[in-house]
Copies of this chain bind each other. A is one copy, B any other.
Amino acid sequence: MTHHQIRRGAYYDSVVLMQLQRALSVLPGIHDAGVVMATPANLELLSANGFALADIVTTPDDLLIMVRAESDVAATEALAQIDALLARKRASSVDADYQHKSLAAAAQAMPAANWVLVSVPGRFAAQVAHEALDLGKHVFLYSNNVSLADEVALKQSARAKGLLVMGPDCGTAIINGIGLGFANRVRHVGVGDATGIGIVGASGTGLQAVTSEIHRLGGSITHAIGTGGRDLKAEVGGITALQALAVLAHDPATAVIAFISKPPSPDVAARLLDAARAIAKPVIIHFIGYPAPAQQLGNLYFAHNLRETAALATRIKNQEPRAKNQEPRTKSQESSAKSQSSRIEDQHLASSNLDSWFLALGSLFVRGLFSGGTLAYESLLALQVVLAPIYSNSPIRPEQALPDARHSIGHCIIDMGEDEFTQGRLHPMMDYDLRLRRIRQEAADPSVGLILLDVVLGEGSHPDPASELAPVIAEVKAKRPTLEVVIIMIGTDDDAQGQHAQIARLSDAGARVFHSVDAAVGFMAQAYPSHFKNEYPPVALSSLTASPNGLTAINVGLSSFYDSLRSQGASVAHVDWRPPAAGNERLAGILARMKRKS
């Protein structure tokens, strides 16, 4: 039986909502619980998760709490505990001394603060961000659902004041060694001469993947500056990206700059590249899904993918003469960097070892369930070569569009960070609930052979993803031992979650863990060999090369080709060709076609 409660116009931090849902779902006699702001998207998700919504009338500002229980009594008792549970959750971890009722009050109490993090619901976020700018603070604007017009107004205002607005929808930044939003713990360098790598990214998980990989390769980060995903649209004009490039250009600790983004508008790309060329430092560019114009253009280096972006930045930084002197890399540092990947599948699959990776997935489908948009994009970009057709709620080509993100078809890549999954709830990097449900849903589909997941560790993310994921993976593997689970793990050895322990636990549950999209997709490419069958008669190799050396040919046309073939030692006959029926070519053509047909 399903019971529900509606709290009209009630606002709770989505952390609180998640905690309430978890608390309700473990009460005695409760099978499942749902706690959401009653937006249309959330109602659809509840319905897809088996909650009956008939007769429930809500507005998007209402808090809807549902429980499915073994009895009416259990349901009623659970709902009766809501206030107590909320009261307990509200007893925040925030020290009372540092807790304020308004931004103005907080700014007065802590005048040294020069950053404001804004993660309030989107429709209020621009207002709060403007207030922060008016107080002279930089803004990390995590909130999404901020209008493009508000974004432009905020960024123009910030630029005029010499302030940064990172976002809206900015997931990640690392400023002076401190991660904002979702961020991995990486080696930081803030002072001294040019030994660090600075990064600008219009992609949150892209920034996380690149900073983590640089750390794995032994490099240090100065700052990683997020811009929000729309910064490179024509309307915004890359305001934050251009400011960020200028910051890193002037930062004496930054030796090399990396710049990553989904495809920008051509005009904005041109301005950004022009700005990057004006910097007296190497700049690694990765426009995801865009053709690289060259390998190198002066100080610009173009990368294929996130992993190569990190590798190039690290390599070029190590080639910079100043950096070399400052930071001689010892053998022990190198071996420590390598030893981290003990339980990780080797990323560089030597071609001679490929046979052992071979999986017989036949015609079973891949279902990718992603928390990181850029990881989903990069996976789709590569997998579309191997798996066709493939569908997505973030398609690269129109024909890949998935009609309903809640129901996979065929091979499918789902970005669960998209709006339809995140309204009024925590990001899927924090809240695994929807992904766990979806894993079970996909695993129950006998046409599915492989589930692909990303697990992003670091600040802001779930404190222990394996604790939730591993049991579900073990559960679905127990039911279908041949089901493959492949994980792309973004994280570092310093992340609070304990990367080693996470990998160990996920591996023990039966997942295969990789450190990059590149490595995971490379593995999957082996699992899905080509189905190509050439149904036509082969061209006999011997017919190409009838003579043991060289060639025997007839030349019809340019006499210079005859000369060339002869000079190379080929046997050649020449036809002194003239137009048939000279002067009446049309007639000649008709005659020839008639001749062929007869």
Contact = CB atoms under 8 A, between A and B. Distances in A.
Interface string A192-230: 000000000000000000000000000000010000000
Given A297-B522, A385-B300, A575-B100, A110 B539 contact: no
Given A175-B545, A538-B162, A572-B98, A557 B142 contact: yes
A170 interface: no
Interface string A229-260: 00000000000001100110011000000000
A152 interface: no
A209 to B, nearest CB: 14
A205 to B, nearest CB: 17
Q: Which of A10, A354, A557 lies at the interface centre, i.e. has the most chain B CB atoms within 10 A of its CB? A: A557
B382 A128 contact: no
Q: Which of A127, A185, A291, A579 lies at the interface centre, i.e. has the most chain B CB atoms within 10 A of its CB? A: A291
Q: Which of A119, A297, A539 lies at the interface centre, i.e. has the most chain B CB atoms within 10 A of its CB? A: A539
Interface in A396-432: 397, 426, 430
Nearest to A576: B99
A509 interface: no
Contact of A459 (B250, B564, B589): B564
A80 interface: no
A479 interface: no
Contacts of A386: 277, 297-298
Contacts of A296: 518, 522
A85 interface: no
Given A110-B571, A242-B534, A574-B106, A560 B292 contact: no
B299 A295 contact: no
Contacts of A307: 295
Interface string A540-575: 110111110111111111111111110111111111
A460 B560 contact: yes
A564 B179 CA distance: 8
B293 A537 contact: no
Interface string A364-386: 00000000000000000110111
A388 interface: yes
Given A118-B557, A397-B266, A574 B543 contact: no
A-side interface size class: 35 or more
A560 B19 CA distance: 12
Contact of A99 (B176, B295, B574): B574
B526 A298 contact: yes
Name the prevailing secondary structure of the A interface residues.
Answer: mixed
A571 B112 contact: yes
Q: Which of A120, A538, A575 lies at the interface centre, i.e. has the most chain B CB atoms within 10 A of its CB? A: A575
Interface stretch (A44-52, A267-275, A497-505): A267-275
Interface string A74-117: 00000000000000000011100011111101110110111111
A343 to B, nearest CB: 22
A318 B293 CA distance: 27
Interface stretch (A23-31, A442-450, A580-588): A580-588
Contacts of A10: 582
Contact of A14 (B397, B558, B582): B558
A455 interface: no
Contacts of A93: 559, 562-563
A512 interface: no
B94 A576 contact: yes
25 contacts: A8-B583, A9-B583, A61-B583, A92-B576, A103-B556, A105-B575, A112-B546, A116-B554, A117-B557, A127-B589, A127-B592, A127-B593, A132-B556, A138-B539, A142-B557, A159-B537, A160-B536, A162-B536, A164-B544, A179-B568, A246-B539, A247-B539, A294-B305, A295-B305, A460-B561
Given A106-B574, A138-B539, A297-B386, 16 more contacts: A10-B582, A14-B558, A98-B573, A100-B576, A105-B575, A110-B573, A115-B551, A116-B553, A130-B596, A160-B536, A162-B543, A179-B568, A247-B544, A295-B305, A297-B385, A298-B386
